[in-house]
Structure formats: structure tokens, C-alpha cells
Amino acid sequence: MNRTRLLTTMAVFVAIGTLGAQLLWFPAGVAKAYPVQHAVNVMAAVTLGPGPAVGIAFMIGLLRNMLGLGTLLAFPGGIIGAFLAGYLYQMTGRKGMAALGEAVGTGIIGALFAVPFSRVLMGSSAGAFFFLPSFLVSSVTGALIGLFVVSKVKQTNLLEKYV
């Protein structure tokens, strides 16, 4: 894929992740679940690989924070989930592993990273189990949505034609 096409595709994913988060969300315990971010992570991991997926997750978190639409917790969860989704897909070639990587990366590892992250940067003293339920609900839901979309797009061979 040439550089212009890659950057354009990444920009589209960033736009979907930034704007889609405001359109589709639901309460998940003490937080709100934004599954679009996680769906984008899976789709980017499968179509572009771990590096671009991490860049997309970072840009979505940055834009959402700059626009006042998100919190700093978008960074540890989104970035770790995007990396693990891309890495596992790259190693196995299985879309289901990308979804699993997103769910584990964001829902578990990202939730654990959120504890010191929130303590240092946000002044919160929340424990690990405070973040786990909402991170898991959001990431599993989004990963399943992303897996569904990627499976349907792959079936029609649109990715091979345009990406």
C-alpha cells in the first residue's frame, strides 16, 4: 500500500473512531462504554497492521481529549488494545485473534495500566477492579462489532480491491 493511501485510510479510521464514539455509547458501570473505538482498533489491526492501528488509536484518543469528548483513559486502553490486536492478527492471520487481542489488551491489560495512569495524571485513587468491568464491557462489545465488520468486508473482497 502506498503512503498516501495508507495515510488516507488511517484518517478515515480516525474520523470514524472520533465521531462514532459520540454516536454509539452506553453506560457500563461507573463509566461509559464507547465500543466504536474498539471496533476501529480491530478493523485497523486486520487491514493495516499493528503500527498503523496504534497510531490510529493514539490519534483518536488525542482528538477526543482535545475536543472534550473523552478522558485520558483512552490512551492506555486504546493503544494497548490496538497493538495486541494487530500483533496477534499478524502472528496468526486469524480475525478472531485480533478481536481477542483487543478485548484482552484493552479490557484487561489496559484496565490495569489505567490504575497508575489515573493516579499520576488524574489524581484518582481507584483500584484495578474499578476499571476492569467497564473496560471489559466496552472492549468486548467493540471487538465483536469490529470482527463482524471485518468478516463481512473480507467476504466481499473489498479490502483486496481498495486497500
Task: Give the start-to-end residue ranges of the domains of the chain.
Answer: 3-21+32-156
In angstroms, the first-to-last Cα distance of the chain is: 7
Which three cell numbers mark 110? 489496559
Cross-strand bridge partners of residue 28: 31
Distance (Å, whole) CA 114 – CA 155: 36
Determine the residue type at 93.
G
Beta carbons of 150 and 47 less than 8 angstroms apart: yes
Alpha carbon distance 80, 71 (integer Å) = 16
The architecture (CATH level 2) of 3-21+32-156 comes to Orthogonal Bundle (1.10)
pTM of the model: 0.88
Checking if the pLDDT of 162 tops 80, the result is: no
* pLDDT at 160 (0 to 100): 57
pLDDT at 159 over 60: no
- Quickly list H helices, 49-163: 50-66, 74-92, 95-104, 111-122, 128-155, 158-162
pLDDT classification of 161: cutoffs 50, 70, 90: low
The pLDDT tens digits of the residues spanning 40-63 come to: 999 999 999 999 999 999 999 999
Place of cell 484487561: 108
Whether residue 110 is predicted with pLDDT greater than 80 in this model: the reply is yes
Q: What is the overall mean pLDDT for the chain?
A: 86
Round to whole Å and give the CA distance between 56 and 12.
9
